[in-house]
Every structure is written in C-alpha cells, then in structure tokens.
Amino acid sequence: MRLTDNEIEAIAQKIVSKAPQSGRRPIIVGNWKMHKTPAEGEALVRQLIPLVEGASCEIGVAPAFPCLDRVAGALAGSNVHLCAQNAFWEAEGAFTGEVSTAMLKDLGVTHAIIGHSERRQYFGETDETVNHRAKTLFAAEMTPILCVGESLQEREEGLTHTVVERQVRGGLQGVANNQVANMVLAYEPVWAIGTGKVATLGQAQEVHGAIRRFVADLYDAQTSAAVRIQYGGSVKPDNAKQLLAQPDIDGALVGGAALKAEDFAAICLAA
Ligand code: 13P
C-alpha cells in the first residue's frame, strides 16, 4: 500500500515528539556561509554560549575560515563545537585558496561541511571531490557533514530519490561502515535553502527515510540505524520542533537563523 502525499502529511503533522529509542543524539549546526567578520562572529558566539549551555543536543557553528581562530577562542570551555565550511584533500602544496585538515584541526575544528549545494552549484563540487574530502576528514579523525539534496526541477521531474541516492553513493565510495556510522549526512533540498520555503514534514521525513534505506542497502542495518541525518533548508525556531520530531530527522543544518543567537539557541533547545 502506498500512502498519498496528503496521508503522509497528516501522519507527520501528528508527530510532535520522537520516541527516544533511536539512540541518535540530535546535532544542530549553524552554517554561517559568507556572513560575519571575525569580530561579529566572536560577538555572536559570546551571546550564544549562555543560551545553549543547558541544551542536550550536539551543537556546532561553522564560520568562514577567517573567523575560525577568533571564534575558537570564544568557544573554549563551552559545549559548542567549531566546524568548518569545507576542507581540501591534499595535506599541503600549491593549492591556492584551499585549506587542509591539519590547518583546521590546529584551530580546534572538529567537523566540516562538505558537498553543500552552493559548493556544487557555484564551485564545481562533484560527488567525486566530495568523496575525496570525506575520506580526508576521516583520516584526520574529523567528522564530515555531507550534504545532499535535489533541485526544484529534479523534484518536479520525480528524480529526488535518484539524485539523493547518487550523491550518497558517490560521496561515500570506499568509506567503511564504522566511519559512516559516526558521520553526519545532511538532506538539504536546494529549493528550500534561503527561500523561506521549508519542505513539508512529510516531504522531509520521506527523503530522510529513503536516505536511511540507501545506507542500509550500501552497508548494513546497524550503520543505517546509527548515522545521523540532518535536515537543512529554512529551519527556523517555529518549525524546528516538528521537523526534529520526525523519526528519521536527527538534527538541523541551519543557515539564516544561525546568524541570530536567540533564533539558533531556540532551535538547539527544540532538539
Ligand atoms: P537556510 O537555513 O538559510 O535556508 O540555509 C540552509 C543551509 O543551506 C544550511 O547549510
């Protein structure tokens, strides 16, 4: 039996809190993109830290590279992880504009976002380059946050699962199951990013469930049950709770709302 979109939506709307049996700790990460100077970034985290100190989820902020050092200083001793917005796969060399995992680790970076749709769209990122980045992060004992998601056109053509499966499969080529179990995937439908157009609960849960099944097919049930899958795309304080209550949504990758301490803290506390 296949449920209609309306039936899926009605079920999703009724879910207000997730049964705790998944054992997956929610992870909320703020992707600052190309916003905030180092001084503004420091001020933002200084405001944020007291607001989230009681949160039970895992929390991270991903400032632009020039802000990392200053934000790291402000985060010392807090429960907020320092994340990067990318990481290159070579250890060092003539790669103008790139940043190595050793450079990031030295600053205290623990996680890095890779394969964001903006990187794919504007900077030629492919599943193959995302895969190189993922493997390099694992080798450095850092946590990749690997983003996948379909464009509006792909969704309208019924290609959502095909695209997302290709991105998951390509990004994880040659990655071992214990590594996948400890990493983070982020489902970010491109049409919901920065548009204020959030995926409906049913749409988001449906793709998250599909991603978990791809991981089970590629690896095994245990890996698929362990991997955390964030949702990203216009997550705000007023929609976070219901999104995070969906059975296969284990956190959020937050853009615009992460630039305001109160909003980002409210999302963290909703988890
Ligand atoms: P918005 O929350 O601004 O839609 O951005 C989502 C995103 O791209 C996070 O990586």
Q: Where are the domains of the chain?
A: 26-270
Ligand 1 atom at shortest distance from the alpha carbon of 195: 4
Say if residue 211 is exposed, middle or buried (CB neighbours under 10 Å; 0-12, 13-18, 19+).
buried
pLDDT reported for residue 93: 98
Check residue 20 and give its pLDDT. 55
Q: Does the active-site annotation cover 208?
A: no
Q: What is the pLDDT at residue 9?
A: 77
- Choice among 42, 116, 118, 125 that is catalytic: 116
pTM: 0.95
Closest CA to 188 of 147, 131, 218: 147
Region at 130 (left for phi over 0; alpha for psi -120 to 50; beta for the rest): alpha
User: Looking at the DSSP assignment, which residues form a beta bridge with residue 68?
Assistant: none
Structural contact between residues 32 and 258, judged by C-beta atoms closer than 8 angstroms: yes
Q: Whose CA is nearest to atom 7 of ligand 1?
A: 255
**Cβ(114) to ligand 1 under 6 A?**
no
What is the topology classification, in CATH, of domain 26-270? TIM Barrel (3.20.20)
Ligand 1 pocket check for 31: Cβ under 6 Å: yes
- pLDDT for the residue 12: 73
Query: If 0-12 CB within 10 Å is exposed, 13-18 middle and 19+ buried, where does residue 42 land?
Result: buried
pLDDT for the residue numbered 4? 77
Alpha-carbon distances of 204 from 85, 102, 183, rounded to whole Å: 23, 35, 20
Q: State whether the beta carbon of 193 lies less than 6 angstroms from ligand 1.
A: yes
Those residues with Cβ within 8 angstroms of residue 116's Cβ, 6 or more apart along the chain or in another chain: 31, 85, 86, 125, 147, 188
pLDDT tens for each residue of the chain, 271 residues long: 567 778 777 777 777 666 556 799 999 999 999 999 999 999 999 999 999 999 999 999 999 999 999 999 999 999 999 999 999 999 999 999 999 999 999 999 999 999 999 999 999 999 999 999 999 999 999 999 999 999 999 999 999 999 999 999 999 999 999 999 999 999 999 999 988 888 899 999 999 999 999 999 999 999 999 999 999 999 999 999 999 999 999 999 999 999 999 999 999 999 9
Atom of ligand 1 lying closest to residue 233 CA: 4
Distance in Å, CA 67 to ligand 1 centroid: 19
Angle between helices 261-270 and 237-245 (to 10 degrees): 20
Q: What is the pLDDT of residue 17?
A: 64
Token pair of 123 as six digits = 């900077």
What distance in angstroms lies between residue 257's CA and the mean position of ligand 1's atoms? 8
